[in-house]
Amino acid sequence: MAKKKTTIKKGTNRNDIINGGNQDGRLFGFGGNDLLNALGGDDFLFGGAGDDTLNGDEGNDRLFGGSGDDSLDGGLGNDRLDGGSGNDALEGGKGNDVMIGGSGDDILKWDDGDGSDLMSGGKGFDT
């Protein structure tokens, strides 16, 4: 069986735009206000410090916002989203998703009737 290819891309302490590919990816924003786009495959996205936007797209993705006020969108697939600290917005999309708001005042959104979703707002005032 052929080994699956995984792409690793890392940002800087500045504001970065990082795009994955159609294969599995590991995208790391680190510091700054970053935009991470998975684009396909089963991906792991880590925003780090700053106010980040993470988009999972297709595949079974894991998105972790880190510190800051982050926006996470799992897209299609069975995804796990963790906002981390800060006031975050999480959207599971289609599939069976797990969303954890973390500390801060968070917004958790899901698609009704498309799967089985598990949500926990964590500490703070969550909707």
Whether 6 is covered by a domain: the verdict is no
Whether 44 is covered by a domain: the verdict is yes
Q: Give 18-30 pLDDT, tens digit per residue.
A: 999 989 999 999 9
Alpha-carbon span 103 to 60, nearest angstrom: 24
- Residue 80 sits in which domain range? 35-102
Q: Give 52-110 pLDDT, tens digit per residue.
A: 999 999 999 999 999 999 999 999 999 999 999 999 999 998 999 999 999 999 999 98
Whether 94 is covered by a domain: the verdict is yes
Whether 66 is covered by a domain: the verdict is yes
Whether 52 is covered by a domain: the verdict is yes
Q: How many residues does the chain have?
A: 127
3-class secondary structure, 102: coil
Whether 127 is covered by a domain: the verdict is no
How many domains would you assign to the chain?
1
Other CB atoms within 10 Å distance of the CB of residue 37 = 20
Whether 57 is covered by a domain: the verdict is yes
Whether 50 is covered by a domain: the verdict is yes
pTM confidence score = 0.93
pLDDT category of residue 2 using cuts at 50, 70 and 90: low
Residues 6+ positions from 96 with CB-CB distance below 8 Å:
78, 115, 116, 117
Hey, what are 88's tokens? 């975050």
